[in-house]
Amino acid sequence: MPHLSWHDCRVDIFVVTVGLGDKIAEEWEPLRKQRFILAVSALSLIATVAFSDANAQDKTIKIGALFPMSGPGAYFGAQDKQGVELALEQVNKEGVNGYKFTIQYEDSACAPLPASQAAKRLLDQYKPDVIIGEECSDATLAIMPIIAQAKVPLLNAGSSSIKITEPGNPYTFRILPDEVMQGVDLATQAYNKLNARTAVLLYENTNSGIGNAKVFKDTFEKLGGKIIADIGFGRDVNDFTAIATRVAGAGKADVIPTYTLEGQGLKITQALAQAGVTKGGGGSAIQLGTIWLPFGFEQKAGKAAEGYVRIVQFDPTDTRPVVKNFISAFKAKFNADPTHLNAHAYDQIMLIADAVKRGAKDAQSMRDTLAATKDFQGVTGSVEFNKHNQNIKMDTIHYMRTEPDLSWTALKWN
């Protein structure tokens, strides 16, 4: 059998396709049939490889990510991306049910208009099977109808406004405890576990700030507690001395539920301690907080944070293997401790991978499988959705108390 090179095959294809003169054809006659068979086999092989490549490409779950990557909320996007990258690295090692995961990020800028534009671009150009994001409630509320209209599931882990799941829509899922779950639980625990009977409300004048404070107020008053001051402020307030003085003059407050982001939160905690209101400043009031403040807040606030009781989205002292593995993998990859934003982004991808494991393969089956989620074990807690697609698992609400040495004690109230 003569040795055939790829070059010969190419010549053969040329002969078959273009055709040569009879003389040349005669010279090639002895080998023609054999070469033809080989050429067809080679082409079939190429076609098979191409076809299987196409199949492999088909076995891809496309994830769209709408994160704020510019503007004041850019720190959300940067940390979200870290959690996503770690999770993708892990799930793509071996794939899930033969599926690999790809992602496309769009800057949704924490505001309705850019978020809407980014969502439309994702849907039109990337055609994702599932979308994760946004962080800010205003932006999430704006993109929800657009994404639902395209019948693509949206998995949210950062926006606490109750409107996102009440009434919500069939395509929007939230793994974060909503403001009612947090507010009702916080007020109940304050009343029952801390024996609080009086409270001062401090909150930023935003969708989430007002909503969270209202839920606490309603629950606390229903239980028999009294709100002795109700203080809202803009995000542009930088000096909280006047507000702390007002709190000090309002009467004896047992607890001070505070709803702000970290920057203002630090200033409020220090101002309240300086005014001698909270435990950190020699007073008796306990500052209460929800999921707004990241890990490391106490180190920045210093002694003023002593006694602060707050809900955290991610408990790094959690001893479940899934949490320990996440922390060690995150440290190995980024040489830093993970924050709640890293953890939530990681959980979003892992929940999507879990849905794929349970049979999700496109947008509609992803929606249906996500809706049927029961007891998914994430690093921030477990997940089970109610009929409004809100995670109802209370183990996502972790209570922590700040000790004098600024360490955390997990209160294990849930």
Partner 1 sequence: MSDAVAVGPAYRSSRRRLAFLFAALVIAVLPLLLTSGYWRTNLTLCAINVLLAIGLDFILGYAGQLNLGQSAFYGLGAYVSTLLITKFGVHFWAAFAAGVAFAGLAGMILSLFAVRLRGHYLAIASLGFAVIVHQILLNWISLTQGPLGIYGIPPPPAIAIPGLPPIEFSNQVALFYLVSAFALLAYLLLDQLVRSPIGEALTAVREDEISAQSLGINANAWKVFAFGVGAAVGGAAGCFYATFVGTLVPDAFFITESFTILAMVIVGGMGTLIGPVFGAILLTLLPELLRDIGDLRLVVYGLALTLVVLFMPGGLVQGWELLRRKFAGARVAGGR
Residue 290 near residue 182 (C-beta atoms within 8 A): yes
The strand pair at 255-259 and 198-204 is best described as parallel
Of 12, 106, 318, 347, the residue at the interface with partner 1 (CB under 8 A) is 106
Report yes or no: 202 and 268 within 8 Å, Cβ to Cβ.
yes
Residue at 351: amino acid letter:
L
Binding mask 44-83 for partner 1 (x = CB under 8 A): -------------------------xx-------------
211 touches partner 1 (CB under 8 A): yes
Give the C-alpha separation, 216 to 222, whole Å. 10
Q: Stretches 27-35, 51-59, 122-130, 347-355: which one binds partner 1 (CB under 8 A)?
A: 122-130
Among residues 4, 31, 42, 210, which is the contact residue for partner 1, using CB under 8 A? 210
Q: Which stretch binds partner 1 (CB under 8 A): 99-107, 152-160, 283-291, 293-301?
A: 99-107
Of residues 129-168, which lie at the interface with partner 1 (CB under 8 A)? 138, 141-142, 145, 163
Pick from 32, 121, 246, 320 the residue near partner 1 by CB under 8 A: 121
* Number of residues binding to partner 1, judged by CB under 8 A: 28
CB of 333 to partner 1, least distance (A): 19
117 scored as a contact of partner 1 (CB under 8 A) = yes
Handedness of CA 248, 250, 255, 256 (dihedral sign): negative
Q: Residue 268 to residues 155, 260, 292, 299: CA-CA distances in angstroms?
A: 32, 9, 14, 15
Residue 13, interface with partner 1 (CB under 8 A)? no
Among 65, 80, 103, 107, binds partner 1 (CB under 8 A): 107
Cβ closest to partner 1, residue 28 vs residue 126: 126
- Distant-in-sequence, close-in-space partners of 218: CB < 8 Å, separation ≥ 6: none
Strands lying side by side in the sheet with 100-107: 100-107, 60-67, 130-133, 154-156, 172-174
Quick one: 183 or 381, whose CB is closer to partner 1?
A: 183
Half-sphere exposure of 311 (CA within 13 A, CB side): 30
For the bound state, the minimum distance from the C-beta of residue 146 to partner 1, rounded and expressed in Å, comes to 9
116 binds partner 1, rule: CB under 8 A: yes
In degrees and rounded to multiples of 5, residue 405 shows phi and psi of -85, 10
Candidates 156, 160, 172, 207; binder of partner 1 (CB under 8 A) is: 207
Interface with partner 1 by CB under 8 A: which range of 185-193, 205-213, 308-316, 342-350?
205-213
Distance CA 231, CA 352 (A): 40
Q: Is residue 206 within the footprint of partner 1 (CB under 8 A)?
A: yes
- From the CB of 66, what's the least distance to partner 1, in Å? 12
d(CA 10, CA 178): 65
CB 203 within 8 A of CB 232: yes
Identity of the residue, 207 or 402, whose beta carbon is nearer to partner 1 in the bound complex: 207
> Which segment (51-59, 120-128, 188-196, 251-259) binds partner 1 by CB under 8 A?
120-128
HEC assignment per residue over 75-118: HHHHHHHHHHHHHHHHHHHHCECCEEEEEEEEECCCCHHHHHHH
How much is the CA Rg of the chain, to the nearest whole Å? Answer: 29
Residue 281 is given by DSSP the state G
Residue closer to partner 1, measured from CB, 76 or 326: 76
Q: Which is nearer to partner 1, 20 or 146 (CB)?
A: 146
CB of 141 to partner 1, least distance (A): 5
End-to-end CA distance of the chain: 77
The answer to whether 209 contacts partner 1 (rule: CB under 8 A) is yes
- CA 262-268-272 angle, to 5 degrees, is 145
Alpha carbon distance 266, 104 (integer Å) = 34
Residue in the block written with tokens 């055609």 = 127
Q: Which residues bind partner 1 (CB under 8 A)?
A: 69-70, 105-107, 111-113, 116-118, 120-121, 123-125, 138, 141-142, 145, 163, 205-207, 209-211, 234
